[in-house]
Structure 1
């Protein structure tokens, strides 16, 4: 069921991408749809009622050169002279929408155009596009340029290399805008190394990039930036400190930095980050962000088989507070962002409690290209990749997950905001909607039922008057501010707990969804439910929002 079964070329995906793998492993058995349409003059999806008909085919660049390796779907073959592409995105005429479709049967971002209907009697599933509900702002989507990815890309001819990079980063490709860069070696390297393997060099006098950087990763990153029309955001992650800095005196296995945050080894490790940024800046590559450590919990495991270093949430917090944060602030890289955790999704709640809490704003996949074996990887920890390289034939294969990523990376640029998309009934469809910075709207729908060969007819509707006007969409703030209201509710809720002997909460009655019935229930201290309180508050907020009217304007 995994995408790798199409070509039998790669091993299982790494556990640190479990959440994404759960979707991708079944991708060949599902159907992904990106809906977009013309909001006169600048929307992809902008409508009153939108059934997925009538639709007409649209030219869509070069088609996929499809082949099967015995799996349930196909891969697209590319080489130096041919590779499937998309036409640069052009908005349709007023009253029309664009639809992009990827299917198990072999469609790959196949585009169609349809007419927006201003009235329909169509019954069945409806998804209501609601821009009043604003969620997180998106940073973007991308992948990692590891040593292994660089080796595979450079094993191709110049023409194939260009087609691979253009597939990922150009306007006729899927337009990744984020690149992850390992700081020194990781398991997807052919050897173990750091940037300063001279024992005791706390001042990092011997710090130096390696050929893996200067002759492999850096040239490829520069080439990717050259073909991209979008601003590129780089972020870096370390796998291990030099062994002489660690309690284990080894790059692998259980071990942390020697001493405590604020101590000389932590200070030297923070300086290591700065030196890395300095050296890449000499090649005209600056970084948007850093993660403090790749998979920090693996360094707490005895006999862990490849590069790692341990941090608890508290250790990482104090390292950032006492060492890495001040080092960045006093350097030329004070605008570089810091990201915590960089580990299993299961760990997020506790780490967020110790550090921060926010919405997910993007997705970075792992290696952007691997070989037929799923490497190279010095510990044979082989994995999957959206692109598989066959250097012996000077070809590469775009797997289904490549096109799955495209439905997000291509149509949801940096600065887009996730907005409401509410079904009128229980459905097994997965869907999400975004409002782009240019006023265009994008809806993604994933059909989980396709493995049963069941098509699902849906209608996407919006009651937003501005979508009918033809003018750029502007958001007009209501006096009811959700963040302020939730903050107030939290304060009131905590105050209530502090001033009463017993714990109380808002309990959801049968009519709470409309806000018409609310009651208070006495509960035990260990059953405090702030989310219930906030849910009730949100219902009340929505009612106030609706009563205000004129939520949107065309000014």
Structure 2
């Protein structure tokens, strides 16, 4: 039986796919093909959504035309290993899933995490509330409770986060790699006295407020563990620069690079180690903010050049915001700190406050291209994981207690009992479904530089070779893929398109 196809509706300028209880498009699991056969998947502006076809490898080195782009793979030159692709299990995502029938909610999770979906393998979990929560809250709002005696998980954890994390874990063909991030400390620990409105932990690292805040992380990890969920990683603080803005609209906490260094060295690192979450068990990541050139390099240098801090740190997380093509800065971070990985821990688009009742645009092709370009450039520059912000939002890009909205790859229309898969969902799938965890990037050289054309190659743990090509130009292009271990693949990519090739030796 062939896979179920998309029921397409026209979005802003390209199609989205409609899912309800009777029909939803799905994908086939990727299975090993005989030598010489190539599977190609394509998503483009014209409306194809991970459309599959087959090609044959040619043993002859046929003459290539002038305008062809030749891609030559060298599997002996290796780069980074993939950790995973994923999205965040926010309160808003869980709340929207809960407005669907259990069957439809299960289908959304399948679409994201199962072998019949795009096989995401990572999840980010906010520690207590974020802006995409129905209310501002933390786990310990009891003033001056330095022993955290009143610390407890909230109804949001049990209703909106934990059930869907477990559901994703149960359908995933991969191990689900989870990491947690805090937005705000309890207001009584902050200089601003508010969950929002900027502010820092009171006092200095090494003193009692910082020590209490460090212990809060351990309490969180223990509480989730007792509910059957263990974390692979942790970021020190989501977007720490927000703490410097006294009018900041939602949950935040401030750090600069030296403050974060000292907090990790004096408080958080030792607390995690004592709690059984040392760097051999849990991957601690610093920074977790926009890809601003001088800031990410300064942060990495400040934290990692101090050996008493660096011993607690495994990686650097950053967000896709504000980079304006600054991806090569990741090469500097890698060259200076090759033993510490980098991941993109958050990305979304159109995050702002709209007039009340504004319905989000669905399937804006330029936004899909922004994702394609961002993921491709991250991979070319040493990044090992890429994580979307909210898994699911409603038609208004909400709920968000601070009244912000955002796009998401899947939007839920609970009144119509259906949900919509944006073109971005399939762009993510062009990467996430095929680059399974532990896939290794290998050298891929283009014989000419063409604007808005990029390519990257990986070898998967099962021995498959994956080549991903983005052609964000207005005209189709002939491509030749040369791989001395198999031969050459003569092919073509449509205008405004992303393609994934997969084949086995």
Per the shorter chain, which TM-score range? 0.7 to 0.9
Pairing 1:432–2:436 present? no
Check whether the contact 2:90–2:160 (CA below 8 A) recurs between aligned residues. no
Check whether the contact 1:238–1:292 (CA below 8 A) recurs between aligned residues. yes
Deviation per residue, 1:287-344 (Å, 9 max, x gap): 0000000000011112111110100011111111111111111113331110111111
Residue 172 (structure 2) aligns with = 228
Residue 251 (structure 1) aligns with = 195
Check whether the contact 1:96–1:114 (CA below 8 A) recurs between aligned residues. yes
User: For residues 97-108 of structure 1, what are the structure 2 equivalents within 5 Å?
Assistant: 97-108=38-49
Match 1:96 to one of 7, 30, 37: 37
TM superposition score normalised by structure 2: 0.78
Cα deviation, residue 72, structure 1: 1.1
Check whether the contact 2:93–2:160 (CA below 8 A) recurs between aligned residues. no
Cα deviation, residue 91, structure 1: 2.2
The separation in 2 between residues aligned to 1:90 and 1:137, in whole angstroms, is 21
The separation in 2 between residues aligned to 1:332 and 1:294, in whole angstroms, is 23
Looking at CA atoms only, which structure, 1 or 2, has the larger radius of gyration?
A: 1
Residue 5 (structure 2) aligns with = 63
More strand per residue: 2
The separation in 1 between residues aligned to 2:96 and 2:431, in whole angstroms, is 25
Residue 286 (structure 1) aligns with = 230
Deviation per residue, 1:85-138 (Å, 9 max, x gap): 111112222211110011111111111111100111123310111112211111
Check whether the contact 1:80–1:158 (CA below 8 A) recurs between aligned residues. no
Residue 392 (structure 1) aligns with = 415
Residue 517 (structure 1) aligns with = none
Residue 80 (structure 1) aligns with = 21
Name structure 1 gaps, 5 residues minimum: 1-58, 469-553
Give the secondary structure class of the aligned counterpart of 1:343.
strand
Residue 415 (structure 1) aligns with = 438
Residue 364 (structure 1) aligns with = 387
Deviation per residue, 1:47-97 (Å, 9 max, x gap): xxxxxxxxxxxx85111111114x210110111222111111122222111
Pairing 1:205–2:228 present? no
Deviation per residue, 1:350-393 (Å, 9 max, x gap): 21222343332110110000000000011111001000000101
The CA RMSD over aligned residues, in Å, is 1.3
User: For residues 270-349 of structure 1, what are the structure 2 equivalents within 5 Å?
Assistant: 270-334=214-278, 335-346=281-292, 347-349=295-297
The separation in 1 between residues aligned to 2:54 and 2:246, in whole angstroms, is 57
The separation in 2 between residues aligned to 1:221 and 1:309, in whole angstroms, is 26
Give the secondary structure class of the aligned counterpart of 2:444.
strand
Give the secondary structure class of the aligned counterpart of 2:28.
coil
Cα deviation, residue 227, structure 1: 1.1
Pairing 1:455–2:476 present? yes
The separation in 1 between residues aligned to 2:90 and 2:120, in whole angstroms, is 16
Residue 406 (structure 1) aligns with = 429
Check whether the contact 1:60–1:111 (CA below 8 A) recurs between aligned residues. no
More helix per residue: 1
The separation in 1 between residues aligned to 2:31 and 2:53, in whole angstroms, is 13
Cα deviation, residue 349, structure 1: 1.9
Deviates more, 1:332-341 or 1:231-240: 332-341
Deviates more, 1:390-399 or 1:326-335: 326-335
The separation in 1 between residues aligned to 2:80 and 2:469, in whole angstroms, is 19
TM superposition score normalised by structure 1: 0.72
The separation in 1 between residues aligned to 2:198 and 2:132, in whole angstroms, is 20
The runs of at least 4 aligned residues of structure 1 exceeding 6 Å deviation read none
Check whether the contact 2:70–2:446 (CA below 8 A) recurs between aligned residues. yes
The separation in 2 between residues aligned to 1:243 and 1:380, in whole angstroms, is 20
